[in-house]
A and B are shown apart, each in its own frame.
Chain A
Amino acid sequence: MPSKLVEKTFRMENLPHIWCPGCGHGILMRDVAQAIENCNLDPEKVVIVSGIGCSSRAAGYMNFNTLHTAHGRAIAFATGIKMANPELTVIVITGDGDCTAIGGNHLIHACRRNIDITVVVFNNNIYGMTGGQYSPTTPTGEKGTTAPYGNIDNVFDITGLAQAAGATYTARGTAYHATQTIKLIENGIKNKGFSLIEGVSVCPTYYGRKNKKGSVVKMMNWQKDNAIDVKKAANMDEKELKGKLIIGEFYNNPSTTGEYTERYDEIIKKLGGDK
């Protein structure tokens, strides 16, 4: 029996989803839905925008206004939506490749504008949809089908990148830590400005298999055993933190210059364009 949440926030007729058994994306999708529920938003006024990738397929299953766009461009489409109708709550669901490789430019500039969009990145450290090529978050030394001898690229710290570019809310959760992750997404939606929540996912099919990470259960247990809350991490030294995954709310500071669409509305008002 599907839960009440699923019945209410998903398009039942389009389930089951296309994801592999054990994929972490389904859990994160449910977290997004639960966070929207918790915010008490009118579903008619919620828009979910996604790019291309396994992660981006989430949008189609969710019973809101959903726009499945082009690879890397979700945040740019979302910018037009939010500008054209600021009353809408705009949430972007994207992947690590979609958001930080092909879409990296849109990401940093949306952060810089501090436009009121909430981005949830399903980070599985790989290009899942295309079959396991390395992404900007594939750990150095790990393998992908296009890094057969080990990845020599350095990785992006997505939340650090977003914060440096001007996002006013950043956080990281995992597929395992559902309760915490829901709360982080909720707080991101509530932030009047650009929010980025990284949801660490698992891709057993490609990332897991290529890098001998074992079963899905083992991959999820890794998240459970190695995630450390940011507050606790503050009292730990580098050695203790080696190989750990810091989660929690990293940054939550409303911008001193305000939110983008509000600032534009001030221009319109000044010119009398609102009359």
Chain B
Amino acid sequence: MADRFALLQGNEACVEGAITAGMRFYSGYPITPSTEIAEGSAVRLPQVGGKFVQMEDEIGGIAAAIGASVVGVKSMTATSGPGFSLKQENIGYAAIAEIPVVVVDVQRSGPSTGLPTSPSQGDVMQARWGTHGDHPVIAISPCSVQDTYYQTIRCFNLAEKYRTPVILLMDEIVGHMREGIELVPEEELPEEFKIVNRDNNMVDGKPYACAKGEYVPHQPPFGTGTRYNITGLYSNEYGFPTNDNDIANAKATRLMEKIEKNLDDILDYEEENLDDATVAIVCYGGTTRAVMEAVAQLRNQGVKAGMFRPVTVWPFPEQRLKEIAKKVKTVLVVEHNYGQLVEEVEKVVKGAAKVEFLGKWDGTTITPAQIINKVKEVSKNAK
């Protein structure tokens, strides 16, 4: 058993969080910088009666994980860069078939093989739009090792509750950073991270039916006494494929509303020093650490900077950012890419404040000094 207090990497904390959340199946294919998640799962799962399998590729990795979830076992797969591209088709499968699964992407630099060991946040838009067709997405980006432990648990909880794939969008910074953390046991988890298990009581005796006013079906696991069909085609409430456009429309719309109508429950964000801020710095994941340091130093120098960190990157906390944008002069987006989430921010802010961007895509990390300089520069522009 793992000790309660430990010095761990983000990737190791992810494994521990997953085990605490109830993960009992992992399947994947090794790739830097996510490999420690596979290695850790291989060590830990059989110790708790769970199973690990190294598949022949990433597609097999997510497919087997979805298969395990179909028989009711909480499951996860993890990958990076090229492997995340390979998983996309089956992320869509899990979304339409409504099967809980946690997909971890420890982002690395560049397209193709790029800079395999360097940090990046270049997959944030792939996490949103990577699989084809309209589909719901939940993606959570942890900012520290302790946060990775908790957010992994939250990913499992949301996957179970909403029966959808949930992406833990890590980055190399968080994945390989070592910090002392507390592996809070299941019984002592804070309220917001309390373990959720899927509800298997079917509505109206139909596997894919939803209760009135609800958007999530309660299909029971295979092998437990209800025989039904699961498919990646649009299907009716029994899971049988249909060509009926009205049924397809109802299902497609419900899949999106499952997220849209539950934003209060799903959305999570962190704010710092925003009350009187003139510059709001938007950041997520591993970038957050540098931003927090920059905000502290800027405040010492009398610059009114604050931080807005979407924890759920998808769905994006639109409403809250809109409110913030009305109060500040500048929204500065800091991310490790050529400019991705900044486009979403521009769409949301819609001119209510000036949107500026600080990015990096050379495989090095953004430093607090660079952020401080950028804030001073954009503050001047805003006057």
| Interface of A toward B, CB cutoff 8 Å | 11, 14, 43-45, 47, 49, 52, 59-60, 63-70, 73, 76-81, 83-85, 87-88, 105-106, 108-109, 264, 267-268, 271-275
Contacts and interface: CB of A to CB of B under 8 A. Distances in A.
B71 interface: yes
Contact of B71 (A59, A85, A264): A85
A73 B90 contact: yes
A190 to B, nearest CB: 20
Given A88-B223, A106-B56, A68 B46 contact: no
Interface string B206-227: 0000000000000000111101
Contacts of B325: none
A49 B229 CA distance: 10
17 contacts: A44-B227, A47-B223, A63-B227, A68-B233, A70-B93, A76-B55, A76-B59, A79-B55, A79-B60, A83-B67, A83-B68, A84-B24, A84-B51, A106-B56, A264-B46, A273-B46, A274-B49
Given A65-B227, A67-B67, A79-B53, A84 B60 contact: no
Nearest to A78: B67
A81 B223 CA distance: 10
A80 B57 contact: no
A273 B44 CA distance: 10
B60 A106 contact: yes
Contacts of B69: 80, 84
Contacts of A83: 25, 27, 51, 53, 64, 67-68
Given A69-B93, A80-B65, A88 B71 contact: yes
Contacts of B341: none
Interface in B30-52: 45-51
Contacts, number: 144
B60 A105 contact: yes
A109 B60 CA distance: 10
B251 to A, nearest CB: 15
A165 B74 CA distance: 30
Contacts of A84: 24-25, 51, 67-69, 71-73, 75
A80 B67 contact: yes
B228 interface: yes
Contact of B222 (A65, A70, A264): A65
Interface in B293-341: none
Contacts of B130: none
B231 interface: yes
Given A68-B233, A85-B223, A73 B63 contact: yes
B168 interface: no
B205 interface: no
B49 A70 contact: no
Nearest to A264: B51
Given A88-B71, A273-B46, A76 B60 contact: yes
A273 B51 CA distance: 10
Nearest to A66: B229
Contacts of B56: 76, 105-106, 108-109
B103 to A, nearest CB: 14
B89 interface: yes
B18 to A, nearest CB: 15
Given A44-B225, A88-B71, A88-B223, 9 more contacts: A47-B222, A68-B229, A68-B233, A77-B64, A78-B67, A83-B27, A84-B51, A264-B53, A273-B45
